[in-house]
Amino acid sequence: MQDFIEFFSFTDANIRYVTLGSVLLAASSAVVGCFTLLRKRALVGDAVAHSVLPGVCLAFMLSGTKNPFILLIGAFVTGWLSLLVIDYITSRSRVKEDTAIGLVLSVFFGIGILMLTAIQQTGNAAQSGLDKFLFGSAASLIGEDLIAFGVVAVLLLVAVVVFYKELTLLCFDQAYARTIGFPVRGLELLLTTLTVFAVVVGIQAVGVVLMAAMLITPAAAARFWTENLKVMLVLAALIGAFSGIAGAFVSYTAPSMPTGPWIVLIVSMIAILSFALAPGRGWVARIMRQRRNKTRILEENLLKLLYQLGELRQDYGSARSLEELLERRNIPKKEALTGLRKLRRQGYLQKVESRWLLTPEGEKRGRRVVRLHRLWELYLTQYLNLASDHVHEDAETIEHIITPELEQRLIEELNYPDLDPHSARIP
């Protein structure tokens, strides 16, 4: 508790620098990462992150100083150059983008390692700590670094706000953007520049090896929670900011723990929880939805079966035994009993001794499923010219997902039919 109070009081200047720097880096990178993710160019961030190392080394060799602004300029130049090379290789050859990314990443990173090794062998005392760009060192951020990162982070956020409409259209409908006269190539260069800036501003905190995670992971986590881009941007920024604060706190309470890797680890944990628990798109929600759909299909199949038995004998008011149902349809006995009991609780069936009887509501629902099945069979034979003996399986699947609106449209398209392709009456 004492460490918690000391940390969040922000009385220590070093805590302020590290925390604010981490928040700025993580939040701004996450916002730009949303557009990179939506354009399906997630690997580009990794390529840029590895390609900035030779720029950092070259800037140091030319200036002889570790001034963050000079190093950022060098990193920006080679990062931007790497994206131009990727685009050039992709457009001028048969090499696919992922292959081009791998080539550029390895070549630029190899050059960076060679330059870093050469600098270390010169004996220049000023080069001490330059290798921190490989793995990051957020705990060593100072006021000068914070100013540089703050300027870049603000530029990134302002650019996203100003060009939000254009970037959104570029991500979702590039052809339409070109049709209405948007400068698509210019917007692509703008997004490229923002991506490079986001990577460049984050490498000192988490390093070139982990920077791709900072760019993409918060965006991927936010994507699972919403379908709205504005909400996604805010969520990604909040996830990135929280990860920055949490990583700095862990590093403060356990000085041997590096800040950058902990930021990445925390944002990855948030992403995993999002993948699992997000409503609608998460694993848990998907499993529950699949179970609900499976249960509904079983229930509708049982009601349809009972209705068809009544239709066959022109007697909807008689109770049927479980054996009669299983003779007509291959349903596991345990599943059939579970479904029948649930339908009874819902008021669709009544149990008379050991036999099952449709209630008026159950008969109505069973009739609708039969009607949808036969309408779809008729539609497939009339409009797709399928043979009548080849449409049953398709109808078995589609009958469970036809909405009332689509049902009405089918009836109108088929001119209010009375019989299906097998001359059975459509109820």
Q: Return the pLDDT at 125.
A: 53
Q: Tell me: the pLDDT tens digits for 192-211?
A: 888 888 887 777 667 666 77
Tell whether 368 and 248 lie within a shared domain. Answer: no
Rounded Cα gap, residues 199 and 334, in angstroms: 57
User: Is residue 178 one of the residues assigned to a domain?
Assistant: yes
Q: Indicate whether 272 pLDDT > 90.
A: yes
Q: Indicate whether 422 pLDDT > 70.
A: yes
User: Is residue 426 one of the residues assigned to a domain?
Assistant: no
Domain, as residue range, for 239:
2-281
**Residue-averaged pLDDT of the chain:** 85
Q: Are 148 and 74 in contact (CB under 8 A)?
A: no
Q: Are 358 and 306 in contact (CB under 8 A)?
A: yes
Q: Are 375 and 407 in contact (CB under 8 A)?
A: yes
Q: Are 336 and 326 in contact (CB under 8 A)?
A: yes
SS3 readout for 331-343:
CCHHHHHHHHHHH
Tell whether 23 and 58 lie within a shared domain. Answer: yes
User: Is residue 421 one of the residues assigned to a domain?
Assistant: no
CATH number at residue 315: 1.10.10.10
* Other beta carbons within 10 Å of 9: 9
**Rounded mean pLDDT of 68-75?**
80
Q: Are 187 and 170 in contact (CB under 8 A)?
A: yes
Q: Which of 236, 251, 281 corresponds to the end of one domain? A: 281
pLDDT bin (cut points 50, 70, 90) of residue 138 is low
Q: Which of 225, 249, 281 corresponds to the end of one domain? A: 281
Q: Are 253 and 6 in contact (CB under 8 A)?
A: no
Q: Return the pLDDT at 21.
A: 78
Tell whether 274 and 292 lie within a shared domain. Answer: no
Nearest Cα to 142, choosing from 91, 68, 206?
68
Q: Tell me: the pLDDT tens digits for 18-49?
A: 788 778 888 888 898 999 889 888 778 778 88
* Other beta carbons within 10 Å of 296: 13
Bridge partners of 320? 356
Q: Tell me: the pLDDT tens digits for 206-233?
A: 766 677 788 889 999 999 999 999 999 9
